Amino acid sequence: MLFNCYLRNSIAYVPTVGKRGGAYTDIEPVAVVALANTDGLRRALLEAIGRGNVAVPPLKGNRSLPVVLKYAGVNKWSTFAVNASSWSIKEKDGSFQIVGYRTHLEGYWVEDPSQKFEFPLGTAVSAVVDHLITILQNAASEQ
């Protein structure tokens, strides 16, 4: 399973992550939470994880814009991404991992090995979420 969180201008965007075929995609609902609202952010992340990766039907016609754009009040991914950072929580066989992303030279995000944190098997999801909140708050103070 995969869950995403974006940080832009001290606002966290926590979309539901669906699965279309073998690909993950951000879908509604999307929680928008001020980073200062630690309890709200924790709740948003736990709710997104609780929804799981729901099956999403194939797209018909043109590809749609990323769902977080309308919540950020922008209409282009490049506008959103220039001031944003991204993290994911991955879960496989009961083991969690937080992965941060960096911008590739060609402009897209790639996993950053220096921002990867693996949790021991059996770590509670709440502990993973709390660790991600700490990462987000530290990242915001560096922006």
Return all residues near 62 (Cβ < 8 A) that are at least 6 apart: none
Residue 141's pLDDT is 83
Domains of the chain listed by start with CATH number: 2-142 (3.40.1590.10)
The Cα-based distances of 84 to 5, 42, 60, 74, 132 in angstroms read 10, 19, 29, 12, 16
**Whether 35 contacts 41, CB under 8 Å:** yes
pLDDT of 77-115, one tens digit each?
A: 989 998 899 999 999 999 999 999 998 888 889 999 999
Tokens representing 69?
């754009």
Give the chain's mean pLDDT.
94
116 phi and psi, to 5 degrees?
-110, 130
Mean of pLDDT values over 34-50: 97
pTM, to two decimals: 0.95
Query: What was the pLDDT predicted at 90?
Result: 97
- Tell me how far apart the alpha carbons of residues 40 and 3 are, in angstroms, rounded to a whole number: 17
- Identify the pLDDT of residue 143: 64
pLDDT at 58: 84
Residue ranges with strand state E in 10-134:
11-20, 23-34, 84-92, 95-103, 109-118
Q: How far apart are CA 52 and CA 33, in angstroms?
A: 20
